[in-house]
Amino acid sequence: MDNFLIIRLSSLGDIIHTLPAFSALRKKFPESRISWVVEEKGKEILDFVTGIDKTIAVRTHGRPVLSRKFWREVSRLKKEIRIDGQVALDFQGLLKSGLLAFLSGAEKRIGFHRKNLREPLAAWFYTARLGKIPETIHVIDKNLKLLTMAGIRENKYEFPLNIPQELIKSVKEKLIQAGYNEDKKLVIYNVGAAWRTKRWFADRWAELIEMMKRQDLFSLLLWGSEEEKALAEEVHEKTGAPLSGSLRSLPAGCGDLRPYQPSEKRAFPRSR
């Protein structure tokens, strides 16, 4: 029986996009041990995923492969990620994730074609590579295609998340405090992005939210980093859409939701 090591270090959205592949792997191999290597900041969402035998948090974010800090972390990880009879699946496609696959001791290390890798040098660490696939397909489908190298063909999207009822109740209470009622559809806006070039301008967000208001929808703003928080607060000031805590605080109760006060209303700026 094979054991499996999933390597998907970050980011939150990409981790979620890997969940259908994990679900398909678990269904195909219900008795196998499946471990997941993830950056510390991405571990929280995996705590809600059923079927993972071990989550291994790493601290390699922002540490160059040639740095001492990176190699100290790698040295710490060696014992944790090594399991006999293990197959490593690298969904990340970076040099450091390929290196982790190699250091896991897995005889079979599966990765994408070098043309589909963010860092093509990662391909050096694989023993099996998926054929080249078009980058126009959704990343979830891309991840599912990687499983064909393990004999799995699956097209269904499943997200095996198990959110405790007390957290669901807490989130609902926070939403109600912010003015939400269940007669309206909830629309959540994550205004941030890790790359500045992927972020929309505040006035564009404001225009979209004002359009959604006319459809009697309830808007909620989320943010990730402190830099993204400033953007979310600017959109909040322009639209009055309730502002939650960080994206990571949402499962813990939406953080401190800030309701809109009519006195805060400002003139709606036209999109540039």
- What confidence tens digit (pLDDT) does each residue in 76-88 have? 888 788 888 899 9
The side-by-side arrangement of strands in the sheet containing 3-7 is: 54-58, 34-39, 3-7, 86-90, 108-111, 128-129
Q: Determine the Cα–Cα distance for residues 147 and 2; give it in Å rounded to an integer.
A: 14
Give the DSSP letter of residue 225.
Answer: S
125-165 confidence digits (pLDDT tens): 999 999 999 999 999 999 999 999 999 999 999 999 998 88
Confidence of residue 15 (pLDDT cuts 50, 70, 90): very high
At residue 62, does pLDDT exceed 90?
no
At residue 269, does pLDDT exceed 60?
no
| pLDDT value for 174 | 81
Count of alpha carbons within 13 angstroms of residue 131, beta-carbon side: 1
Confidence of residue 238 (pLDDT cuts 50, 70, 90): very high
Q: Determine the Cα–Cα distance for residues 185 and 169; give it in Å rounded to an integer.
A: 17
- Per the listing, tokens 């669901």 go with 168
| pLDDT value for 117 | 97
135 touches 116 (CB < 8 A): yes
- Per the listing, tokens 């400033």 go with 230
**Encoding tokens for residue 258?**
């800030």
Return the higher-pLDDT residue of 215 and 101. 101
Chain-centroid distance, C-alpha 38: 10
At residue 267, does pLDDT exceed 50?
no
| pLDDT value for 135 | 92
State pTM to two decimals: 0.79
The side-by-side arrangement of strands in the sheet containing 243-246 is: 186-190, 218-223, 243-246
Tally of residues, the chain: 272
Reported as type and span, the H/E element at residue 94 is none
Q: Which residues pair with 262 in a beta bridge?
A: none
| pLDDT value for 185 | 87
Domains and CATH numbers, the chain: 3-150 (3.40.50.2000), 165-264 (3.40.50.2000)
Mean pLDDT for 213-230 is 82
Q: Determine the Cα–Cα distance for residues 26 and 77; give it in Å rounded to an integer.
A: 24
Confidence of residue 44 (pLDDT cuts 50, 70, 90): confident
Count Cβ neighbours within 10 Å for each residue of 9-26 and write b for 16 or more, e otherwise: bbbbebbbbbbbbbbbbb
Q: Which residues pair with 257 in a beta bridge?
A: none
Confidence of residue 249 (pLDDT cuts 50, 70, 90): low
